[in-house]
């Protein structure tokens, strides 16, 4: 296989930074060649707050992945999340010269390009423009208009925007770590690619990715993304609550949460006790598992209430036949599905990213790695698109490649790329 088909997903999270190297095998599944993981310092609630610490963590994770995979990593697909992410609905339209010519990919690209020119709030920039459905000469509900005839082409779009500064900081960290960003993807979209099936997206499903700093929500219905949101609470807030409630240090609180934590206090016996060593010769501290779970349950209920608010706010509450799929590190908490079902009344399952993985990739089948695996899937899809858009011109024996980045002139990615080109020329 060609080296270009090897893709690296880099998940810059609040608690961990993961670099996964993968490529598609002959059966269409993803072979994981290597995985590197490091503790994340310098990231809070999905946003980079200390560049030097983040760069160091990225370098550690990437070096680990390089050693295990034997692949030199130069280009990565990166995820973006954080409280600053917003989504909205918009409609775009384009009047064509006549209806003799069929609607082509070029017309759709022109329509998407126009949406990137929407005026945003100061300091914000559009990250993704996702077409939902197309309207041709007032004929609604068209999924794929290519090949059809019509004069007026319209589309409903789901537009995701974020702070320019937050994205610039991600680019800066990756660049300083000696790498290049191939694509910046909203993390819940990457996680959705890794854990949701096409049938679930068709039936209507909510993806809830509970990370360390944020909880990401993505709602799909009829195979189309309908709503996205980032809630600024995650596993770290639960750890802080345990630390305060049990008066112990953070490391002990994190271990307690992972080993003995439960999202339902009633599922634990009253006489279950954990003994924690005291600091510097102080006496041991005894903590009731039931009290520990009561602390976790209180915070988890708050997070799930926020998720339920987003579901109701989307207007699709009654149309989600496949219910909820919960993934991310927080999905490993015991009895999490029961608590979500109890609050929302919707069927819930845990999403594992193993559906797309080849045998021998057991290291990354935990919900913890959903985003990283999704970033690899997205990277492979981009390569497929670029290969499709490569047009051969026989006269001059040259190949012209129309990549997504070139299409989006003046877009988010190009502006940031120009910013760094100017930056490096000044040094």
Instruction: Enumerate the β-bridge partners of residue 389.
Output: none
Q: Phi, psi at residue 280, to the nearest 5°?
A: 50, 55
| 420 or 273, greater pLDDT | 273
Residues contacting residue 366 through CB under 8 Å, at least 6 positions apart: 332, 352
Q: How many CB atoms lie within 10 A of CB 84?
A: 20
| 27 or 202, greater pLDDT | 202
Q: What is the CA radius of gyration of the chain?
A: 23
Q: Is residue 146 part of a domain?
A: no
DSSP 127-180: EEEEEEEEEETTEEEES--TT---SEEEEEEEEEEEEHHHHHHHHHHHHHTT-E
Q: Is residue 155 part of a domain?
A: no
Q: What is the mean pLDDT of residues 84-99?
A: 89
Domain identity same for 304 and 389: no
Query: Which pLDDT value is given to residue 405?
Result: 42
Domain identity same for 404 and 273: no
H-type alpha helices, 334-369: 336-344
Query: Which pLDDT value is given to residue 142?
Result: 92
Query: Which pLDDT value is given to residue 394?
Result: 42
Domain identity same for 177 and 226: no
Residues in the chain: 427
Q: Give the total number of structural domains in the chain.
A: 2
Q: How many CB atoms lie within 10 A of CB 141?
A: 8
Domain boundary among the residues 352, 374, 402 is at 352
Query: Which pLDDT value is given to residue 127?
Result: 94
Domain identity same for 248 and 334: yes
Query: Which pLDDT value is given to residue 120?
Result: 92
Domain identity same for 326 and 296: yes
Domain identity same for 317 and 396: no
Q: Is residue 203 part of a domain?
A: yes
Q: Alpha-carbon torsion 312, 314, 316, 320, what sign? A: negative
Whole-number mean pLDDT of the chain?
88
Residue 427 has pLDDT above 60, yes or no: no
276, 287 in Cβ contact below 8 A? Answer: yes
389, 403 in Cβ contact below 8 A? Answer: yes
Query: Which pLDDT value is given to residue 101?
Result: 84
Nearest by Cα to 207 from 348, 378, 368, 88: 348
State how beta strands 75-80 and 6-12 pair.
parallel
Q: Phi, psi at residue 194, to the nearest 5°?
A: -80, -35
Give 223's DSSP letter.
Answer: T
Q: Is residue 61 part of a domain?
A: yes
Domain identity same for 184 and 211: no
Q: Is residue 147 part of a domain?
A: no
Domain identity same for 395 and 278: no
Q: Is residue 208 part of a domain?
A: yes
Domain identity same for 228 and 364: no
Residues contacting residue 80 through CB under 8 Å, at least 6 positions apart: 46, 127, 162, 166, 167, 170, 184, 185, 186, 187
pLDDT tens-digit series, residues 383-393: 888 887 654 44
Which band of pLDDT confidence, cut at 50, 70 and 90, is reported for residue 402? very low
> Which domain covers residue 280, as residue numbers?
198-352
Question: End-to-end alpha-carbon separation of the chain, Å?
Answer: 39
162, 125 in Cβ contact below 8 A? Answer: yes
Domain boundary among the residues 323, 352, 381 is at 352
Which helix (H) or strand (E) segment holds residue 58: the answer is helix 51-69
Residue 238, domain CATH: 3.30.420.40
Between CA 392 and CA 16 the distance in angstroms is 43
Question: Helix, strand, or coil here: 118?
Answer: coil
Domain boundary among the residues 287, 318, 352 is at 352
Dihedral through CA 164, CA 236, CA 185, CA 198, nearest 10?
Answer: -150
Measured CA distances, 98 to 102, 105, 134, 150 (Å): 9, 16, 18, 7
Domain identity same for 212 and 292: yes
User: CA 193: distance to chain centroid?
Assistant: 9
Between CA 211 and CA 46 the distance in angstroms is 9
E strands, 167-281, are 180-186, 205-210, 215-221, 224-231, 273-276
Q: Give the predicted TM-score (pTM) of the model.
A: 0.86
């Amino acid at each position: 296989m060609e080296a270009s088909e090897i893709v690296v997903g880099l998940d810059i999270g609040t608690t961990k930074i993961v670099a996964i190297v993968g490529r598609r095998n002959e059966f269409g599944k993803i072979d994981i060649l290597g995985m590197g993981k490091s503790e994340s310092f310098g990231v809070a609630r999905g946003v980079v707050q200390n560049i030097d610490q983040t760069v160091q963590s990225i370098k550690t994770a990437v070096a680990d992945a390089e050693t295990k995979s034997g692949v030199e990593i130069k280009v990565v697909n990166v995820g973006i999340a954080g409280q600053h992410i917003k989504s909205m609905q918009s409609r775009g339209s384009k009047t064509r010269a006549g209806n003799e010519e069929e609607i082509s990919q070029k017309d759709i690209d022109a329509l998407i390009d126009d949406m990137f020119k929407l005026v945003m709030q100061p300091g914000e920039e559009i990250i993704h423009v996702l077409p939902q459905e197309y309207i041709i000469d007032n004929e609604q509900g068209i999924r794929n208009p290519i090949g059809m005839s019509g004069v007026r082409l319209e589309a409903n779009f789901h537009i995701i925007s974020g702070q320019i500064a937050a994205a610039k900081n991600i680019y800066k960290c990756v660049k300083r770590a000696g790498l290049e960003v191939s694509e910046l993807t909203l993390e819940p979209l990457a996680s959705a690619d890794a854990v949701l099936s096409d049938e679930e997206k068709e039936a209507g499903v909510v993806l809830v990715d509970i990370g360390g700093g944020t909880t990401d929500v993505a709602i799909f219905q009829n195979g189309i993304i309908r709503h996205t949101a980032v809630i600024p609470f995650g596993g770290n807030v639960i750890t802080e609550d345990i630390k305060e409630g049990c008066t112990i240090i953070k490391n002990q609180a994190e271990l307690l949460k992972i080993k003995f934590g439960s999202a339902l206090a009633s599922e634990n016996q009253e006489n279950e006790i954990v003994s924690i060593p005291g600091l510097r010769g102080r006496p041991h501290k005894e903590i009731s598992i039931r009290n520990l779970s009561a602390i976790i349950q209180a915070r988890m209920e708050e997070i799930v209430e926020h998720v339920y608010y987003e579901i109701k706010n989307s207007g699709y509450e009654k149309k989600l036949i496949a219910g909820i799929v919960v993934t991310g590190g927080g999905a490993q908490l015991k009895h999490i599905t029961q608590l979500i079902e109890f609050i929302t009344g919707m069927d819930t399952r845990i999403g594992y990213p193993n559906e797309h993985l080849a045998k021998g990739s057991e290291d990354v089948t935990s919900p913890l790695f959903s985003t990283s695996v999704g970033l690899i899937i997205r990277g492979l899809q981009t390569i497929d698109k670029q290969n499709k858009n490569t047009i051969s011109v026989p006269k001059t024996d040259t190949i012209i490649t129309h990549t997504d980045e070139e299409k989006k002139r003046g877009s988010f990615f190009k502006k940031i790329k120009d910013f760094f080109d100017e930056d490096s020329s000044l040094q």
